[in-house]
Amino acid sequence: MHLLIISHTAHYTQDGKYVGWGPTVKEISWLARAFDQITHLAFLHAGPAPRNSLPYEAENIKIITVPPAGGLTLRAKIRVVTQGPRYLKQIINILPKADIIHVRCPGSLGMYGMIASSFVTKKRKWIKYAGNWKAGLNQMALSHIFQREWLRFGFSQAIVTVNGRWENQPVHVIPFLNPSASINEINCAGEICADKKLIPPYRIVFVGNASRKKGLHSALKIVKELNLNHPGRFIFDVVGDGPEKSSFEEFVDKNKLGDIVIFHGWVSHSQVFEILRPAHFILLPTTSSEGWPKVLSEAMMFGVVPLASEISSIPQIFASAGTGIGIPPNDIDAFIKTIQYLITDSEEWMRMSKEGINIAPQFSYERYLLAIDEMFCDFYGKSPLKQDFIAEVRDAFIKIPHSNLDKYWYHGFDRLSSH
């Protein structure tokens, strides 16, 4: 079976090969194990690849690239329109060659893929909406509103997977979790961190774009206040980069936080894991319209307790997982008080740390593939995934206890326990 993926994932050339955004590349490399061939239509950016970029692990993945379009400036938005004919031409050329069509939204290339594939009626289709499905209209770009409503009303004639479980959703819109690591990686992390203790210096981590929208300015204010109240007892690791980074470095210098704040920039995926390994908390005081940030489940693997804004599916998944605390965006005092509470109640921190380790297999690539297999069976009558490989994955995963997070996967998976 030939799977076509259309997404806005950023790619670069490095040593004569394509590399791309690490988390997405890992996910697609796992999909490649279950399909004969994958073609990925995506953006190719100029310049050096960020350090968190990865090469594809599989030989059966073909990359087709187009110039990027989209962004915050007016010029970037106009480019979405001017590049449209080029995108559509490329999409229309490759659609007939695929057996299965998978489009990733919201994004400019995904929008054109969503529209073009809507007119293909005899192929199995799956569209992943990775943003905040329940965001208010004032929280979304116009193009994102258009994509969500197109999908919600079923114009795509496809399965649509979303973050979170929401009332009154059409039958074709189903909850799905984002995978973040393999069972082997998760088990290794759990074994390493099984006896992690909450002792000073308390390590806090931020991973993401270094921007106000992602909440780094709030995270630095939180750490500043914690350091004033508990001098020398905190270390703050910042993983990520962006055009606003210099202003955050100025904040650190001005407030004499240079001894406790470490700016790592973008690092490799394995280095992110090394930074999470000794951490106690991960902060994500974002105000942007998130879906489910994979870094939160990556942190859970290592017994790191996540504290994040109450946006989209984040509080739902925290509640079902038994770990993590959702806090209103911009409520810096609430973040500070929560951390202070947890460092004085180490038993509660320990409970959430262990719950995170226990729940982490639910965010595995193996769990993800099983849910996709079941989803295609129920919606289309037959799965396109390699059944010998899926049988191996099922045998490995069935040994792992189910949890409350099962309801955020495609619920047909429940029948696997009787196979």
Does domain 2-175 fall under CATH 1.10.3470? My reply is no
In contact, 295 and 283? CB cutoff 8 Å: no
Q: What is the pLDDT of residue 411?
A: 52
Asked whether residue 414 carries a pLDDT value surpassing 90, the answer given is no
Task: Tell me the mean pLDDT in the region 348-372.
Answer: 95
Q: How far is it, in rounded angstroms, from Cα 126 to Cα 384? A: 12
Query: How large is the average pLDDT for residues 1-11?
Result: 97
Write out the residue limits of the CATH 3.40.50.2000 domain(s) in the chain: 183-361
| DSSP classification of residue 168 | T
In this prediction, residue 401 has a pLDDT band, given cuts at 50, 70 and 90, of low
Nearest C-alpha neighbor of 223 from the set 215, 235, 211: 235
Q: Write the burial class of residue 331 (CB in 10 Å: 0-12 exposed, 13-18 middle, 19+ buried).
A: middle
Its pTM stands at: 0.92
Tokens in use for 119? 């007119």
Q: What CA–CA distance (Å, rounded) separates 377 from 16?
A: 39
Please report the pLDDT score of residue 400 as a whole number: 67
Identify the band that residue 417 occupies on the pLDDT scale cut at 50, 70 and 90: very low
Report the C-alpha gap between 318 and 326 in whole angstroms: 7
pLDDT digits (tens, 9 = 90+) for 200-226: 999 999 999 999 999 999 999 999 999
The pLDDT tens digits of the residues spanning 69-100 come to 987 777 878 889 999 999 999 999 999 999 99
Tell me the C-alpha distance between 409 and 361, whole Å.
13
221-266 per-position pLDDT tens digit: 999 999 999 999 999 999 999 999 999 999 999 999 999 999 999 9
**Which fold, 183-361?**
Rossmann fold (3.40.50)
Neighbour count for residue 246 (Cβ, 10 Å): 10
Average pLDDT, the chain: 93
Across 381-408, average pLDDT:
84
Assess contact for 270 and 239: CB atoms under 8 A.
Answer: no
